[in-house]
Structure 1
């Protein structure tokens, strides 16, 4: 097993390459906490052997909870394999569904995260609701209301609020309230998106189990899909997160494609962890 500190647009990961292992491993919150002493991260990305694809990809948030998908983490893992001499196209299995990646001309990676899932049961929600605009809102400390977010599953649950002034939203304060609302039985990632043009979106995401991060790949994908369904943007846009820009495309077959910067920071020594 080899371990790497990586980031995608500031979204920080530990990537464990366990493809030469005899079988998958589980990680407890105590294991995650021990790794954070070595290197602070948002998600742990684990590559296990797969009989159906180039690797099986698993994801844990830094609170110790396993989740179904991580867009930037998948890009980082694909980039790592490409740099190690892998073929120009890869496939991954995951609990969130199959994913594919292709090497771009500049050595970066684009991932196809599969189809956006839009039924209320796919998110999931605790009761039937139109996912284009949920009958749901939150009151800000100054009395303003945010209403009608779109809901999308990208292998993990997202809601996306369109906001006029992103800087005025106290995300760290309201994010936990939305994450744990009873409407979302598996909790939820919450995006706050300011539309600056048909192909230009400014986004911040409060991630379940990780909090406010510099970027969220599945959050960027969910934002494009949710905002397009509300008629606010086209099917392709650049999503600007705090950590960098993430091009996203929702193709005619319903699949969502994510690209953007990847940085390999260093190899880690996790022996004894």
Structure 2
């Protein structure tokens, strides 16, 4: 069987996009997706995204398999890439297209505002321990500045769900964090029953954050859209940043806003097509 695909990236967070509009079931198994993501023996990507028919009144449905074969609820960079992919499939100009996308985290609305920039209404962040989920504190409490023991050190963490779990800690210098050795320990810590994404944040100014991320199911990546959103929320909750800020990731910058009007998070950033191809399964 041959699968046609298009490769996109959002700030270096790269994905294989597959036109799955003819079926409500992904055309590939998690194991097959994992093979495609292999950077030595496959195409190479952080995940495989399927564009499926819409559900519950939405235009389309997004399913994603991470590079380890697991399925996350949502992906911020991925949904920007999906919006660009859908506009390209439909032959549209990418100037004003807006889609309502069904995800495992609920309905998400991306809007293309230029050839490569996509603004996404990411919805309202969830803040209670039961919603993350985590056992760091009581289920009905917010997880703000809680101590967490990892790698023989106590870290002060704040947790946020953007439909998927995030553990955020603020540090003096993100470049000094040994992410390759401690990232997995955060992800698989027993206080996170569904594992977690982990963000390390350096506050440059109240309107400018630097971030490094370990993504659940993918490891170190160049960018994480939901992580950038969660990190701004954590910065506001701990009075470290404003409600609108630039978040600098290794792959580039995202603009994040936590609206005081509707409490929604808005993320703006690029989605770039890399190449198209055909893969024999």
* TM-score above 0.5, yes or no: yes
Aligned pairs (5 A) from 1:53-132: 53-83=58-88, 84-85=91-92, 88-126=97-135, 128=138, 130-132=142-144
Counterpart Cα distance in 1 of 2:142 and 2:148: 11
Q: Relative to structure 2, which stretch is displaced further, 101-110 or 183-192?
A: 101-110
Name the counterpart of 1:190: 198
Aligned pairs (5 A) from 1:209-228: 209-228=217-236
1:80 Cα deviation from its structure 2 partner: 2.0
Alignment check: 8 A CA contact 2:127 2:142 kept? no
Alignment check: 8 A CA contact 1:2 1:18 kept? no
Q: Does 1:165 align with 2:166?
A: no
1:2 Cα deviation from its structure 2 partner: 4.4
1:22 Cα deviation from its structure 2 partner: 3.1
Q: TM-score, normalised by structure 2?
A: 0.89
Q: Relative to structure 2, which stretch is displaced further, 85-94 or 65-74?
A: 85-94
Counterpart Cα distance in 2 of 1:244 and 1:168: 19
Alignment check: 8 A CA contact 1:123 1:153 kept? yes
1:137 Cα deviation from its structure 2 partner: 3.7
Name the counterpart of 2:7: 5
The secondary structure found in structure 2 opposite 1:64 is coil
Q: Relative to structure 2, which stretch is displaced further, 84-93 or 227-236?
A: 84-93
Q: Does 1:247 align with 2:251?
A: no
Alignment check: 8 A CA contact 1:99 1:114 kept? yes
Alignment check: 8 A CA contact 1:137 1:149 kept? no
User: Which of 24, 42, 48 is residue 46 of structure 2 equivalent to?
Assistant: 42
Alignment check: 8 A CA contact 1:99 1:112 kept? yes
Residue deviations 1:145-170 (CA, integer Å, cap 9, x gap): 45221100011100110000112111
1:26 Cα deviation from its structure 2 partner: 6.5
Name the counterpart of 1:28: 29
1:27 Cα deviation from its structure 2 partner: 4.2
1:44 Cα deviation from its structure 2 partner: 1.3
The secondary structure found in structure 2 opposite 1:3 is strand
Alignment check: 8 A CA contact 2:11 2:271 kept? yes
Alignment check: 8 A CA contact 2:6 2:273 kept? yes
Counterpart Cα distance in 1 of 2:146 and 2:170: 12
| Inter-CA distance 26–4: structure 2 relative to 1 (3 Å threshold) | closer
Counterpart Cα distance in 2 of 1:26 and 1:64: 14
RMSD: 1.8
Counterpart Cα distance in 1 of 2:263 and 2:188: 29
Residue deviations 1:178-221 (CA, integer Å, cap 9, x gap): 11111000000000000000110110000111101011111111
Residue deviations 1:218-239 (CA, integer Å, cap 9, x gap): 1111110011110000011111
The secondary structure found in structure 1 opposite 2:146 is coil
Residue deviations 1:240-268 (CA, integer Å, cap 9, x gap): 11111111111122211111122100112
Number of residue equivalences: 267
Residue deviations 1:73-124 (CA, integer Å, cap 9, x gap): 0001112223432762211011111100112145421111111011111100
Q: TM-score, normalised by structure 1?
A: 0.92
Moved over 4 A (4+): none
Counterpart Cα distance in 2 of 1:9 and 1:202: 14
